[in-house]
Amino acid sequence: MARITIKDVAKSLELSVSTVSRALNDKGDVDEKTREKVKNRARELGYTPNMMAKALKGKTLGLLGVIIDDNTNPFYAEVVKGMEREAKKHEFHLLLVNTAADYEEQVFAIEFLQNKGVDGILIAPVDDTKPVEMDGIKVPFVIVGRHFEKSDFCEVYNDEELGGYIATRHLLESGRSNIITVQPDMNIFPTRGRSLGYRKALQEYSAESANSAIELKSSPENAGKVVLEYLESSGTCDAVFAYNDMYALEIIALLRSKGMRVPEEIAVVGYDDIPYSVYVCPTLTSVALDKDWLGRTSTEMLIKMIKGKKIREKRYVQKPVLRVRDSG
Amino acid sequence: MARITIKDVAKSLELSVSTVSRALNDKGDVDEKTREKVKNRARELGYTPNMMAKALKGKTLGLLGVIIDDNTNPFYAEVVKGMEREAKKHEFHLLLVNTAADYEEQVFAIEFLQNKGVDGILIAPVDDTKPVEMDGIKVPFVIVGRHFEKSDFCEVYNDEELGGYIATRHLLESGRSNIITVQPDMNIFPTRGRSLGYRKALQEYSAESANSAIELKSSPENAGKVVLEYLESSGTCDAVFAYNDMYALEIIALLRSKGMRVPEEIAVVGYDDIPYSVYVCPTLTSVALDKDWLGRTSTEMLIKMIKGKKIREKRYVQKPVLRVRDSG
DNA sequence: TTGAAAGCGGTACCAC
DNA sequence: GTGGTACCGCTTTCAA
């Protein structure tokens, strides 16, 4: 009933534990016959190595900590799936922690994960303005989907400015002139970048439209309400560039419930291109990111770091593309 | 730079490691002053216990293995979120593994997770017909969302038959007479239960409708195609009870793309009530489950088992409710 | 080629 | 109340 240890294998073969250990790990000089015998017996007995004991000896445990806002966010769900697949390839496993974008939670998470003995951490930091945050991390780590301006962390992220730019330019080119944007009230790389791209497109198009830049701040749940309030308080607009698809869906739902037609009266463009964008009504125009790539690439890099391999590129940046559908 | 151990704390205070250990864990007889001193110094030095060493001594590591089909499935995403929150309350963490509903993957997962030293496992088994499967699990475990007929496992699941029943009854009561259902080609508790409920409702309504029971088998991606093929091959129907919302969305999308009107010509009812059901077009009528409850309850039970507490109820069953919207 | 023994960071038993 | 020490399962010198 009790777990089979290396000792049991040794005893049953009248060998020493050291020989068994070497045989099992293909190390040192062990007679080929002995090695075979040991491996067979180990299999017969159903021996499984105790990772904790190994980890205690300074070996890796095969655990990767993942710190994100929320695993139900379809964007992160896809990213995590990519991570999971890549990790599995290298016999690593994922330890998932949600922070709900709360800084304190993140601090705890970093602390806890390291106590659990993770070999590395994949993190989408709550606040990417102060690199100091990452000081608490004593294991290798990779930043996912965020970017610190002044630091040389390993990062895998998206060209957010380009994303904001192509979304806005598309709206301008399809004849919209009063484009507002709704962004969360957080100073993170994605909001900064998307805002920048939005403004850049307006600027480039005409001085006039540049002056009409309006950035509304909101949580995802209130995105629709915020837009509505803006419209009611004399503001006008014929297009909305939403922070992401959740925002876009919320906005479209509320707009339509008030009898406004999307995209005829108001066009809406989202971001992330979540799988549901093709099912909603109207189908959602969105800036598409390869979420699987984000997960895979970051995980691959982290595992390389853990294994002490050379990292050629410390930064991988993805160019988003616009998926034009019916909403704008 | 190196990690602070209990030894460092002991040395810096000129105490023995045993005293420090006892002080830190509030165990045995230790002078209150000593205890205070030790705790303060430990904090100062930034001591963090090495969980691996503890685990090696037979203590729990604080790790829960989670084995599910796919974390991007919104249903599981919500369940996992509930688990994560509950686990965090008790200072436990989640080790996530996707199986893609593949049996071999599940076998590996069970094996790997235990090697990583998880204290327990939360599992939605790929196949819930043969309890033998679970033999490989040597730690406490709880079945989530599935139910083994002949076994006394701890389980948290849904009354699937009731779900299938209320969905179908609703369609019948709103005047539909030719109701088909599309289910995955897997013999798992949810499909068995939903099918049963579907047939029960038809039976109860009229012998005639009972004879019209049609169960199509399909993967989520092909759900639409399968229904279309059925319609084209002379079959007629005015309503579809879909296995879940993903199936429903796929069916609706394809039906509409062929010019059919939902729900006017064909009503569609889904299952799970994923968050996007209110954004799609038409909004989705769906059998609603409390996913958070599933996650919380199963995790709470598992942690109780791990801590050796008495389990009053080995089974928790949830009654679903129908959320009527526009699709049927 | 093989074995004995130290040690990783803790816990717990047993003396003192 | 405190310290010494064996031990958890495994790796890794160092001798034999």
User: What confidence tier does B79 reach under pLDDT thresholds 50, 70, 90?
Assistant: very high
User: What confidence tier does A211 reach under pLDDT thresholds 50, 70, 90?
Assistant: confident
The predicted-structure confidence for A214-252, as pLDDT tens digits, reads as follows 999 999 999 999 999 999 997 889 999 999 999 999 999
User: What confidence tier does A82 reach under pLDDT thresholds 50, 70, 90?
Assistant: very high
Specify the CATH number for the domain of residue B188: 3.40.50.2300
Tell me, yes or no, whether A20 and A75 share the same domain: no
Q: Does any domain span residue B114? A: yes
Spanning CA of B324 to C1' of D14, the rounded length in angstroms is 76
Q: Does any domain span residue A177? A: yes
What's the whole-number mean pLDDT along residues B213-241?
94
Tell me, yes or no, whether A115 and A235 share the same domain: no
Which residue type does A207 have? A
For A275, which DSSP code?
Answer: G
Spanning CA of A5 to C1' of D11, the rounded length in angstroms is 14
Is B11's CB less than 7 Å from nucleic acid strand C? no
Q: Does any domain span residue B53? A: no
Nucleotide in closest CA–C1' contact with A7: D9
- The residues with which B315 forms a beta bridge, in sequence order, are B155
Q: Does any domain span residue A111? A: yes
User: What confidence tier does A1 reach under pLDDT thresholds 50, 70, 90?
Assistant: low
Tell me, yes or no, whether A282 and A297 share the same domain: no
User: What confidence tier does B30 reach under pLDDT thresholds 50, 70, 90?
Assistant: confident
Indicate if the pLDDT at residue B207 is higher than 80. Answer: no
Which residue type does A318 have? Q
Tell me, yes or no, whether A43 and A94 share the same domain: no
Q: How many domains does chain A have?
A: 3
Tokens of B176: 């539909």
What's the whole-number mean pLDDT along residues A285-301?
98
What's the whole-number mean pLDDT along residues A83-111?
93
Tell me, yes or no, whether B164 and B136 share the same domain: no
Nearest protein residue to nucleotide D7 (CA to C1' distance) is: B57
User: What confidence tier does B131 reach under pLDDT thresholds 50, 70, 90?
Assistant: confident
Give pLDDT, residue B1.
52
Tell me, yes or no, whether B120 and B237 share the same domain: no
Give pLDDT, residue A133.
77
Spanning CA of A109 to C1' of D10, the rounded length in angstroms is 29
Q: How far apart are CA A300 and CA A297, in angstroms?
A: 5
Quick one: three-class SS letters along B142-206? EEECCCCCCCCCCEEEECHHHHHHHHHHHHHHCCCCCEEEEECCCCCHHHHHHHHHHHHHHHHHC
Percentage of residues of chain B with pLDDT beyond 70 = 99
Spanning CA of A104 to C1' of D10, the rounded length in angstroms is 37
Tell me, yes or no, whether B214 and B249 share the same domain: yes
Q: Is the peptide bond before A282 cis (omega within 30 degrees of 0)?
A: yes
Tell me, yes or no, whether B68 and B147 share the same domain: yes
Who among residues 32-51 of B has its Cβ near strand D, under 7 Å?
Answer: 34
Query: Cβ contacts (< 8 Å) between A249 and chain B: which residues?
Result: 276, 279
Indicate if the pLDDT at residue B73 is higher than 80. Answer: yes
Tell me, yes or no, whether A98 and A131 share the same domain: yes
Query: Cβ contacts (< 8 Å) between B119 and chain A: which residues?
Result: none
Tell me, yes or no, whether A175 and A266 share the same domain: yes
Are B112 and A91 a contacting pair at CB < 8 A? yes
A87 against A138, higher pLDDT: A87
The predicted-structure confidence for B84-122, as pLDDT tens digits, reads as follows 999 999 989 999 999 999 999 998 899 888 888 889 999
Tell me, yes or no, whether B218 and B260 share the same domain: yes
Tell me, yes or no, whether A94 and A78 share the same domain: yes
Percentage of residues of chain A with pLDDT beyond 90 = 73
Provide the domain limits for residue A194.
Answer: 160-288
pTM equals 0.92
The predicted-structure confidence for A25-54, as pLDDT tens digits, reads as follows 888 788 899 999 999 999 988 888 888 888
Give the angle B276-B282-B284 at the CA atoms, nearest 5°: 50
**Residue A40 burial by CB count (10 A; 0-12/13-18/19+): exposed, middle or buried?**
exposed
Which bases of chain D are contacted by protein, using any atom under 7 A from a CB?
Answer: 1-5, 7-13
Q: Does any domain span residue A326? A: no
| A63, A70, A77 member nearest B72 (Cβ) | A77
Is A49's CB less than 7 Å from nucleic acid strand D? yes
Q: Does any domain span residue B57? A: no
Indicate if the pLDDT at residue B53 is higher than 60. Answer: yes
| B85, B111, B253 member nearest A278 (Cβ) | B253
Are A97 and B116 a contacting pair at CB < 8 A? no
Nearest protein residue to nucleotide C10 (CA to C1' distance) is: B53
Indicate if the pLDDT at residue A152 is higher than 80. Answer: yes
Size of interface A-B (CB pairs under 8 A): 132
Residue with tokens 């339509």: A256
Who among residues 13-42 of B has its Cβ near strand C, under 7 Å?
Answer: 17-18, 21-22, 24-25, 27-28
Mean pLDDT across chain B, nearest whole number? 92
Indicate if the pLDDT at residue B154 is higher than 60. Answer: yes
Give pLDDT, residue A84.
97
Is B52's CB less than 7 Å from nucleic acid strand D? no
Q: Does any domain span residue A53? A: no
Gyration radius from chain A CA atoms? 26
The predicted-structure confidence for A120-134, as pLDDT tens digits, reads as follows 999 999 988 887 778
Q: Does any domain span residue B12? A: yes
Give pLDDT, residue B286.
98
Are A95 and B93 a contacting pair at CB < 8 A? yes
Give the three-class secondary structure for B220: coil
Tell me the CA distances in angstroms from A4 to A43, A48, A215, B134, B189, one per residue in order: 11, 7, 63, 19, 35
What's the whole-number mean pLDDT along residues A175-201?
95
Are A80 and B93 a contacting pair at CB < 8 A? no
Which of B118, B13, B138, B1 is closest to B55 using CA atoms?
B118
